[in-house]
Structure 1
Amino acid sequence: MDSPQIMILTVLVGTVILFLWGRWRHDMVAMASLLVCVILGLVPTDAAFVGFGHPAVITVACILILSSALQQSGAVDTLTRTVLPQSAGPFITLAALSTLAAILSAFMNNVGALALLMPVALQIANKQGLPPGKILMPLAFGSILGGMTTLIGTPPNLIVSGFRAGIDGSGFSMFDYSPVGLAIAASGLTFVILLGRFLVPTRERAGAEGFETGSYLTEARITEGSKSVGMLLSDLNNELEKSDAQVIGLIRHERRIPAPSPYRELHQNDILLIEAEPESLASALSALDLTLEAEWRSAEAERRAQEAAKQAGKDTKQEDKETTKAQKANTSEKTISTDKTQQDSPQDDIREDGEDVVIPPEKALKSDDVSLIEVVVLPNAAFIGRSAADIRIRNRFGINLLALSRQGQRSMTRLRTMKMQAGDVLLMQGTPHAVAEFGNRMGCAPLAERALHLTDKSQALKASVIMAIAILLAAFGILPAAISFALGVLASLLFSVVSPRTLYDAVDWPVVVLLAALIPVANAMESTGSADLIARFLLETIAQGNAVIALGLILVVTMTLSDFMNNAATAAVMCPIAIGSAAQLDANPDAFLMAVAIGASCAFLTPIGHQNNTLILGPGGFRFGDYWKLGLPIEIIVVAVGVPMLLWMWPL
């Protein structure tokens, strides 16, 4: 063993120890490892940051952005509402949720898939009187299993593909992972669905929601073309009950009907007063093509503003023609005409008390920065005893009041005329700056930016089509995966599916930095011969030259490491060892790389091995030692099914 090998192995051991210790973030440890290698001369200075341009890193970032687009547009919410059974027992519910999580995880970030389905799982657990962990752990494990079935399902697959490209110039294709991945995922899901609930410990929920706002009271309008037109109120209520929502009042022609007959037929432009939980508000509106009243008013105001602007333009043109024809125009008259046109324009700034210069609400509410933000009315706030109409909330601040939560109380007052009380929670729509300005002026404190994805059918369709085209381009080898998904991100920006403000928020930067930093370190392991040294040790002392045992050993070692350290880091560390093992045995390196991809994805024993396991730790009330009871049998299934499938699909 020469000096470079001793140094790189020392750095590798130190890196793994720091990963396992968890004192510092994974990206910090990876960057420190890279810089130490550069200082020691193991990585050339001009190659230190080549990892940031690696196709695997670019693809990971683009996939995260496209997954966010599917999430934000409501495309996945629509799929969830369509596929999941509305009323079923625990077995059917668990089967549907876990299977849907696996399918989504194959084509989007599996952490994002779990985050989308978690609120649904918690609602179902509450309805059926189940401890939330009984559904959350099978759901998390299902999403992990689904991620190993495609190239883009999880970062380790992309890393493995990158190492394979270093061997023969081409990485794995989109569905090269599918035969082995699907067999393992199907076996694991079957076990989870049949026995998962019985192996998950019963724990009390440990506050998954952070804060409770109670039910929202909001107004929704039945617009032209809505499926609600012509429905009986009783039928509409039956549909809303599936989303834990109900109609408590009806407004027709500005007249309030506090207890409408269930047999009343609903008409276009009826306004429904709906009570719904925060998590189910979006699905309640989307299911029946209902439009938030505040959003409808914004759209109507914009339409009128555009018509007024067009009319003003026509009037100006007509005046110009008449003036030219008569040849009596002078500079003074033109100035007066121009001033008059600007004065009549609905886009003119509105001033109040001689101080406020207000952004026109039609412009503010069309901004890419618009968010849904919850605020609470503080004691002694200037807003108490006043309504949104009283303070002209849309004109002065450029924001909409979408819904109000007043725990334990109902009111038939129109939302915009409802007098505020201390403790009211308001769902505001506007730019973060505008909502912050409103909060400062009126005495309201922000609670959180709500992840309420109000489904926009056109945007959801665009997001789905863009993702599908990107996948097809990569799957059929028309374009490399990195280029295909980068084009998808560009298309999402051009068609306003993703806003520039949220573009970079969707990227998990610690993962990107971790990958980019460890790629040169992994290359150093290979160039110094350290990977071959480790491979030779494993083969000679444990596998003793048997290729099948060596393949199983690579899978088990990778899976064990992945239970205690980041799966992307595990893949980056193990790929050179796998390639070295295959070379020592003169075996097919594809089988060994696939074993790394599977092992790095299968972290089921601890809450720290995978982000999905961490995500359910609090909501499920779990302890560190609760995961292995379901996770260990799944890992045994992975080895029992994975090794034969690898030998069949990728003969040694």
Structure 2
Amino acid sequence: MTPDQLALCAILGVTVLLFVSGRLRHDLVAIAALLASVLAGLVPADRAFEGFGSTAVITVACVLILSNALQRSGAVDAFARAVLPADPGLVTMIAALTGIAALLSAFMNNVGALALLMPIALKAAARFDLPPSRLLMPLSFGSILGGMTTLIGTPPNLIVADYRREITGEAFGMFDFAPVGLAVAVAGLLFILLVGWRLVPVRKRSGTEGFDTGTYFSEVHVPEGAKAEGMTLREIEAAITETEIQVLGLVRRGILESAPPTGIRVRAGDILIVEAETEGFSAAVSTLGLVMQQPAADAAEGDTTLERFRDGEGHVELMEMVVGPKSPLVGRSPRGLRLRDRFRISLLAISRQDRRRIGRIGTARFMPGDVLLMQGNPDALAEFAADHDCLPLADRPLGFPSRRQMLTAAGIMLGTVALAASGLVAAPVAFALGVLLSALTGTVPVRRLYDAVDWPVIVLLGCLLPVANAMLDTGTADLLAGVLVGTLAGGAPVIALVLVLVVTMTLSDVMNNAATVAVMAPIALGIANTLGAPVDVFLMAVAIGGSCAFLTPIGHQNNTLILGPGGFRFADYWRLGLPLEVIVVAVATPMLLLVWG
């Protein structure tokens, strides 16, 4: 092993560990990997940022914008209303939701498809008196399966297509992924429909008034004269024992005491950090005279949310919303947002699945999948959710979208796909033309054009592609391929193919799928060259494996998005995800050999 290969292996090893740990955002890890490669002399400085000009990067950005045009125009909503059954049974509803999600995800961003269908799934869960998890996990997995069927369905396909263009001079076409991807998607959807939905863990059943988001963490204030004043924490919990409220901390004179002794007596002015369901908060307020505390920097001690809102604020309501994977809230705290001054809304509580320690609400850092209990004017709440990539977990207000805009957005997307598929122009050019037409026709407002782009993904791709090229230039990809083929596969092409598929799937379960594919594509090429096998079969295996992240909530943005609303725990995903991944391998392997072998 040469010094360059040792250095690159070390950089890749640290990069993968950082991806898995989640301590840093994926785009920051990718930037660090690129700069380390440049400083080590593995990537020439004048080529360090060539990845941002890659056709994969351009196409991903354009597809995100066109997907946003379909959402904003109401075209997808109208399509969903037209094809969803009016009075379905449970299995029919699961089939309709997963099927529509798969179809939409083939031609638009699958996170957007999930966001549009998620409120429908929650409403159906309430109707059938089911835990939302029974519908949300099949919905998420269905959208992931649908994305692997076309070139633009998922970033891994675009990356693999661009990589093939670099090594062979010709990229994969729009529907080259369909023979294998469609077979895998159909098999996966049938499994989910017939058996899989029964494997989803059943949490506490949701009632007809909403759904189970688990317990909330919040703060309640003890005012002068409250019944709770002078009571011990043990007496407070006993007084409302039927609500299962639990006191996790006490703030007195600005000092937080975690896990305070149950014998401590509460004083006026104290703030209690409590865990309960929404009904528990109501019981605490009505029974003990406590009040909800606004955990924001602009709220004075004892200045309650209700009092502030009722002071000339007008109509207010409560809304639950989930923090999306690319929300600008991630990593920030309520204290720094100044919600009251900037948005005229308040954060009352946070629900965080499988993570008990939050501490004070005002200084808690938001994480993807958190469910927020917000209060404010309905329009202000809706605007905040839209601007901060949060998904309201209730019926969305009905609007009156323009039929002309819906038809225009749908026509642009269909025309762009047809143009790219025809081969008359390159796919990046076709989709860039679609973006231009969307801006000129107003289906995406010009001021919102760049908001639709998932910039962390763009940065990740732009930075990792030169690192992937360095794996080829230094011979590191061939070295790793030789180890995999010789040590584990025993020189057998079929075993090597299964190995590539399984390793790629495993990595995509714990790190960003775009990063996984960027790392695995050069290794797959090296394996193909070592065995003298067709390159395409191994590149397609990487594309399939990179799209199948079913074991964890962090492997795919959709899995993160349903974490809070579904009441899921980290270990819940493998129950349906593991047999689904086995089916993917069982179906994809013979199809890859048949179509591309």
After TM superposition, is the score higher than 0.5? yes
Matched, 1:647 2:570: no
Output the CA distance in 1 between the equivalents of 2:155 and 2:114: 16
Q: Is the 8 A contact 2:131 2:212 kept in 1?
A: no
Q: Which residue of 2 aligns with 1:53?
A: 53
**Once the 2 structures are TM-superposed, how far is the Cα of residue 29 of structure 1 from its aligned partner?**
0.3
Secondary structure of the 1:86 match is: coil
Write the letter of the residue equivalent to 1:427: D
Q: Which amino acid aligns with 2:377?
A: V
Aligned residue among 545, 549, 560 for 2:506:
560
- Superposed CA RMSD in Å reads 2.5
Distance in 2 between residues matched to 1:613 and 1:430, nearest whole Å: 23
Structure 1 residue ranges (4+ consecutive) displaced by more than 6 angstroms after TM superposition: 208-211, 428-432
CA–CA separation in structure 1 for the residues paired with 2:88 and 2:488:
50
* 1:455-470 aligned within 5 A: 455-470=401-416
The match for 2:213 among 199, 207, 213 is 207
1:587 aligns with 533
Whether the 8 Å CA contact 1:71–1:453 is kept in 2: the answer is no
Pick from 622, 627, 631 the counterpart of residue 573 of structure 2: 627
Deviation at 1:210, TM superposition (A): 10
Find 1:544's aligned residue among 478, 490, 511: 490
Q: Distance in 1 between matches of 2:581 and 2:382?
A: 47
Q: How far apart are the structure 2 equivalents of 1:72 and 1:528?
A: 46
Question: Deviations for 1:103-125, whole angstroms, at most 9, x for unmatched residues?
Answer: 00000011111111000100111
Alpha-carbon spacing, 1:504–1:199, altered in 2? closer, same or farther (3 Å): same
Which structure 2 segments of 5+ residues have no match?
205-210, 218-304, 316-374, 388-393
Q: Distance in 1 between matches of 2:8 and 2:448?
A: 39
SS class of match (2:379): strand
User: 2:462 aligns to what?
Assistant: 516
Change (3 A) 1:452 1:172: farther
Percent identity over paired residues: 59
Alignment correspondent of 1:299: none
Q: Deviations over 1:137-180 (max 9, x none)?
A: 00100000000000000000000001100111111000000000
**Alignment correspondent of 1:411:** none
Per-residue deviation at 1:543?
1.1
Q: CA separation of 1:162/1:209 partners in 2, compared to 1, >3 Å: closer, same or farther?
A: farther
1:152 matches 2:156: no
The Cα shift of 1:429 comes to: 12
Q: 1:105 is matched with which residue?
A: 105
2:513 maps to 1:507: no
Aligned residues: 437
Q: Pick closer, same or farther for the CA change 1:13–1:45 going to 2, 3 Å.
A: same
1:474 is aligned to 2:420 = yes
Q: Which residue of 2 aligns with 1:224?
A: none
Q: 1:486 to 1:430 in 2, by over 3 A?
A: same
CA distance in 2, matches of 1:57, 1:546: 35
Aligned pairs for 1:76-475 within 5 A: 76-204=76-204, 205-207=211-213, 378-379=308-309, 381-382=311-312, 425-427=377-379, 454-475=400-421
Residues 543 and 553 in structure 1, CA contact (< 8 A), matched pair in contact too: yes
For residues 310-336 of structure 1, the C-alpha deviation after alignment (integer angstroms, 9 at most, x for no partner) is: xxxxxxxxxxxxxxxxxxxxxxxxxxx
Tell me the distance in 2 between the aligned counterparts of 1:132 and 1:430: 22
Which AA in structure 1 matches 2:559? N
Q: How far apart are 1:377 and its partner, in Å?
A: 10
Q: Cα offset for 1:561?
A: 0.6
* Contact residue 57 and residue 516 of structure 1 kept, 8 A: yes
Question: Aligned AA for 1:138?
Answer: P
3-state SS of the aligned residue for 1:563? helix
Distance 2:401 2:306 in 1: 25
How big is the shift at 1:535? 0.2
Judged with a 3 Å threshold, the aligned counterparts in structure 2 of structure 1 residues 383 and 191 are, in CA distance, closer, same or farther, namely closer
- In 1, Cα distance between the equivalents of 2:101 and 2:474? 42
Distance 1:567 1:475 in 2: 24
- The amino acid across from 1:502 in the alignment is R
Write the distance in 2 (CA, Å) between the matches of 1:630 and 1:26.
Answer: 26
Deviation, structure 1 residue 195: 1.2
Instruction: Render the CA deviation track for 1:355-408: whole Å, top value 9, x for unaligned.
Output: xxxxxxxxxxxxxxxxxxxx99954544659xxxxxxxxxxxxxxxxxxxxxxx
Distance in 2 (alpha carbons) for counterparts of 1:66 and 1:451: 23
The offset of 1:424, in angstroms, is 7.5
Partner of residue 529 from structure 1, selected from 456, 461, 475: 475
Unmatched segments (≥5 aa) in structure 1: 212-374, 386-422, 436-447
How far does residue 196 in structure 1 lie from its aligned partner after superposition? 2.2
Q: Which residue of structure 2 lines up, in the alignment, with residue 74 of structure 1? A: 74
Q: Distance in 2 between matches of 1:484 and 1:549?
A: 38
Q: Secondary structure at the match of 1:130?
A: coil
Relative distance call for 1:85 and 1:431 in structure 2 (3 A) is closer
Residue type of the partner of 1:622?
Answer: F
In structure 2, distance between residues paired with 1:587 and 1:573? 20
